[in-house]
């Protein structure tokens, strides 16, 4: 019961489209009609400005951090904490307030990861940074959640947190693969699948 409530609350928090709200406040535009059409910080930076994008990035991180953190503060079990975090990630990826069309959930996922096992933030972000240095940002972010899951298995014996780390990785991967069915008809399936999953590359027209 508590886990279901935590998930629903987390989902509603994650569903708030901060990029859309910030873009309207700062520039009076619907960010979905500009650039990539994404409501994330990168598109906001490109079309509104860096300060607005920084607010979005921080806000999205907090969307993933606060629900599980509050659940823990209120004395919730590990399963309740994980449910609140997963709700936020699902809400961001499939938001009810945007017809279930959301973002990649990296920022909100980072927030959830930090709330579950705070020390895991450092290997997660270090892997992000390594990917950026090697100019493989997409690969670095995905591997960051793989490294985080491995860290959780090493650092804690909590079944709930271990399951949460795996489910978080699965959700990040699923977001990358959304709409892949059409791409699979435009090239070798294995190559198309790996390019989408690892590098977020789509077959050329």
- The DSSP symbol for 61 reads H
Query: Lowest-pLDDT range, 86-90, 162-166, 186-190?
Result: 186-190
DSSP structure class, residue 192: H
Tens of pLDDT, residue by residue over 79-97, are 999 999 999 999 999 999 8
Q: Which of 14-18, 60-64, 81-85, 190-194 has the lowest mean pLDDT?
A: 190-194
Q: Give per-residue pLDDT as tens, 52-76.
A: 999 999 999 999 999 999 999 999 9
Question: Quick one: how many helices (H) and strands (E) in the chain?
Answer: 11, 0
- What is the model's pLDDT at position 205? 47
pLDDT (average), residues 95-103: 87
Q: In which band, very low, low, confident or very high, does the pLDDT at 179 lie, cut at 50, 70 and 90? A: confident
Question: Among candidates 145, 205, 134, which has minimal Cα distance to 176?
Answer: 145
How far apart (Å, rounded) are the C-alpha atoms in residues 179 and 146?
23
Residue 113 CA to residue 120 CA, distance in Å, equals: 7
Return d(Cα 58, Cα 125) in angstroms, integer: 15
Cα separation, 102 vs 171, whole angstroms: 13
Distance CA 43, CA 47 (A): 6
Residues 6+ apart with CB under 8 A from 23: 29, 30, 31, 39, 44, 47, 48, 52
101: confidence class by pLDDT, cuts 50, 70, 90: confident
> Is the pLDDT reported for residue 39 higher than 80?
yes
Task: Find where tokens 């650092």 sit.
Answer: 155
How does residue 198 score in pLDDT terms, banded at 50, 70 and 90? Answer: confident
Average of pLDDT values for 3-7? 95
pLDDT higher at 201 or 126: 126
Give mean pLDDT, residues 158-175. Answer: 95
With 70 as the cut, is the pLDDT of residue 105 above it?
A: yes
Whole-model pTM? 0.91
Question: In the chain, where are the structural domains located?
Answer: 2-199
* CB neighbourhood size of 165 (10 A): 26
177 to 58, 184, 187: CA distances (angstroms): 25, 11, 15
Strand (E) or helix (H) holding 169: helix 159-176
Tokens for 109, please give them: 């996922």
pLDDT digits (tens, 9 = 90+) for 108-143: 999 999 999 999 999 999 999 999 999 999 899 999
- Contact, 102 vs 184, CB < 8 A? no
């Amino acid at each position: 019961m508590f886990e279901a409530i935590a998930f629903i609350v987390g989902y509603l928090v994650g569903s708030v489209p901060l990029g859309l709200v910030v873009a309207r406040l700062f520039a009076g535009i619907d960010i979905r009609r500009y650039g990539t059409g994404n409501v994330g910080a990168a598109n906001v930076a490109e079309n509104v400005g860096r300060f607005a994008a920084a607010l979005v990035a921080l806000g999205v991180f907090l969307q993933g951090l606060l629900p599980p953190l509050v659940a823990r503060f209120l004395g919730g079990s590990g399963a309740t904490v994980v449910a609140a975090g997963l709700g936020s990630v699902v809400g961001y990826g499939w938001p009810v307030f945007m017809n279930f069309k959301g973002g990649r959930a990296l920022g909100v996922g980072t927030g959830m990861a930090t709330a579950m096992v705070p020390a895991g933030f450092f290997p997660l972000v270090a892997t992000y940074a390594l990917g950026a240095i090697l100019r493989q940002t997409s690969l670095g972010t995905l591997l960051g959640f793989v490294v985080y899951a491995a860290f959780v298995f090493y650092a804690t014996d909590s079944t709930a947190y271990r399951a949460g780390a795996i489910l978080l990785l699965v959700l990040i991967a699923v977001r990358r693969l959304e709409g892949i069915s059409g791409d699979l008809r435009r090239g070798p399936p294995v190559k198309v699948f790996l390019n989408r999953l690892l590098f977020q590359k789509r077959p050329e027209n």
